[in-house]
Structure 1
Amino acid sequence: MTVNEIDKTPADRPAEPPDAHDQWNFAVRRETPTQRLDRNYAEILQEVRVAQTGVQLLLAFLLTVAFTPRFATLTEFERSVYVAALVLGAAATALLIAPAAFHRLVYQRRLKRQLVLASSRFALCGLTLLMLSIGSALLLILSVTLGPAHAAWFTTGALGWFALWWFAFPLWSRMRHSGDR
C-alpha cells in the first residue's frame, strides 16, 4: 500500500499530493499524512503549554504592578517600559492561546493542515513576543534597582541569551543538519 492509498481525502476535497515528509514518515513510521498532522498538532500544543505557563505568570505579575504604591514613583521611561512589557505580554498570551481558538473554529472542517501551519506560526510569534515582554519586564525591574544604564546592558545580555537558545541555536542546528534527511 502507498501513502496515497492509506490516507484518502473525501471526494468533495481535492487530494494534496504527499510531500517528502509525508513519504518519509510513511516509510519509516508507517504514519499517514493525517496521522502526522495529528502528531504535529499534539507536539505544538505540548510546546505551547510550556510557554503559556511562563507568559501567564509574567502577565499576572505585570497586571498587579500598576496597583502597588511604588508604581507612582516610576519615571516616565520606566512607565513606558512597563506599558511595553504589559502590551507585549498580552500579545504573547493571545498568540500562545490562538491555536486553541483556531482549532475550535475550524473543528470538523477538515482543515488540520491549515491548523498545524497556523498554530506553528502562532507559537513562534508568541515566543518572540514573550521574549520581548520578559526583556521589557527585566529592563523595568533592573532600571528601578540599578538605574537605566546598567539595566540596558543586563537586559541586552539577557535578550541575547534568550535569542541564542530559543532561535539562533535551533536555526544553526537546522542548517547544520539540513542535508541529513
Structure 2
Amino acid sequence: MKPDAKLKTAMDETRLLILGAQILMGFQLNGMFQDGFDTLPRVSRNLDVAAFGLITLAVALLITPSLHHRIVERGEVAPEIHRVASACAGLALLPLAATLGLDILIVLDRHYGLAAAAIVGLSFFSGAMLLWFVFPVIRRRPDVKETPMQKQNETPLHAKVEQMLTEARVMIPGAQALLGFQMAVMLTSGFDKLPSSSKLLHTAALCCMGLAIILLIAPAAIHRLSFLGEDSEEFHDLGSRLIVLAAAPLAGGIALDLYVAATKATESSSIGTTIAVLAAVVMIGLWLAYPTARRMNSEAAP
C-alpha cells in the first residue's frame, strides 16, 4: 500500500472511533443536567465525572495524530505520523471501553440497583476489551508482516489536501456533539439551578465550541467557494492553519464544561477545577505544545 493511502486509512479508522466517542461525550454532559441525575447515589454521580474525564482522554488521543501531522510534518506523509496514529488509536480504546461500561452502569443503577448495574456495565467493558484487544491479538497471522513505511520525498498535493480535509472531519464530531448538547442543556431545569459563575462558564464553553466548528468547517467552504474545488499549496497551508487554530477553542470548550459538570456532580468547585485544569493541560500538551516543540527541534537540527 502506498504511504499516503496507508495514512489515509489510519485517519479513516480514527474517524470511526471518534464517531463512537462523540455520542458518549455528549451523554456525559447532557445526562448531568437531567432531572433524574440528582436522584442517583453519590457513587454513580462520581463515576459519571470519571467517565467524562475518560472520554475526554479518548477524544484527546484520537485528535492528536491530526494536529501532529499538521504541525510537525506540515502535511507530508512520514513513518512517524503513521506510528502516532496507530499508537493513539490503540491507547484511546481503553478509556473508550471504560466509559461505555461506566455509562451503562450509571443509567441502569437508577432502575435496577448498583449491583446489577455493575455486572452489566462490567460485562460490556469486558466484551469491548475482548473484541478490541484480545481477539485481534489472537487472530494476528504470523505470515502477515507490516510493510515498512518509507517517507515520501514529496507527497502529492491532492493527497495532502485530501488528508487535511479528512483530519478536519476527525476533529469536528467531538465539537458538534458537545455544541448540540450544550444548547440543549441551557433549556433544562438543572441548568437553571446552577450558580451564575457556572452558567457564565458554560456559555463561554458554548462560544468556544461554536468558534471551533466555524474554523473546522472553513477549509471545506474556502476550497469550494474560493478555489472552486481545485487543489493548491496556498489552500493546503491556509486549511492547515485553520485546523490548528481550532484546537485551542476546542480544548477550552471541553475543559470549561468539564468544570461545570464535575462541580455540579461532586458539589465541589475544587474538584471541578482540578479535573478541568488537568484535562486542559493534557489536550493542549498533546495537540499543540508537544507537536510545536517537535517541529522546533526538527527545524533547529542540522
TM-score band w.r.t. shorter chain: 0.7 to 0.9
Q: For 1:52 and 1:180, how far apart are their aligned partners in 2? A: 28
**CA positional deviation for 1:40:** 2.4
- Which of the pair has the greater relative contact order for Cα pairs under 8 Å at 6+ separation? 2
Does structure 1 conserve the Cα–Cα contact (< 8 Å) formed by 2:57 and 2:95? yes
1:48 has 2:48 as partner: no
2:85 counterpart (119, 144, 147) = 119
Match of 1:71 in 2: 37
Paired amino acid for 1:57? I
With 155-164 and 100-109 compared, the bigger mean Cα shift is at 100-109
1:162 has 2:128 as partner: yes
Q: For 1:76 and 1:44, how far apart are their aligned partners in 2? A: 40
Match of 2:142 in 1: 178
Q: For 2:125 and 2:9, how far apart are their aligned partners in 1? A: 26
Q: For 1:123 and 1:180, how far apart are their aligned partners in 2? A: 21
Paired amino acid for 1:101? L
1:60 has 2:26 as partner: yes
Paired amino acid for 2:109? S
Q: For 2:46 and 2:123, how far apart are their aligned partners in 1? A: 20
1:82-128 deviation per Cα after TM superposition (whole angstroms, max 9, x unaligned): 01111111111111111111111113386711111111111111122
1:74-93 matched pairs, under 5 angstroms: 74-93=40-59
- Secondary structure of 1:178's partner? coil
Paired amino acid for 1:70? G
Q: For 1:74 and 1:180, how far apart are their aligned partners in 2? A: 50
**CA positional deviation for 1:134:** 0.8
**CA positional deviation for 1:166:** 0.8
Match of 2:62 in 1: 96
Q: For 1:171 and 1:135, how far apart are their aligned partners in 2? A: 22
Match of 1:130 in 2: 96
TM-score by length of 2: 0.45
* Bigger Rg, which one: 1
- List alignment gaps of at least 5 residues for structure 1: 1-30
Q: For 2:73 and 2:144, how far apart are their aligned partners in 1? A: 36
Change (3 A) 1:144 1:132: same
Q: For 2:7 and 2:98, how far apart are their aligned partners in 1? A: 25
TM-score by length of 1: 0.74
Q: For 1:152 and 1:117, how far apart are their aligned partners in 2? A: 36
How many residues of Structure 1 are paired with residues of Structure 2 in the alignment?
Answer: 145
1:28-65 deviation per Cα after TM superposition (whole angstroms, max 9, x unaligned): xxx6xxx33x2321111111111111111110111111
Does structure 1 conserve the Cα–Cα contact (< 8 Å) formed by 2:21 and 2:55? yes
- List alignment gaps of at least 5 residues for structure 2: 146-302
Q: For 1:48 and 1:180, how far apart are their aligned partners in 2? A: 22
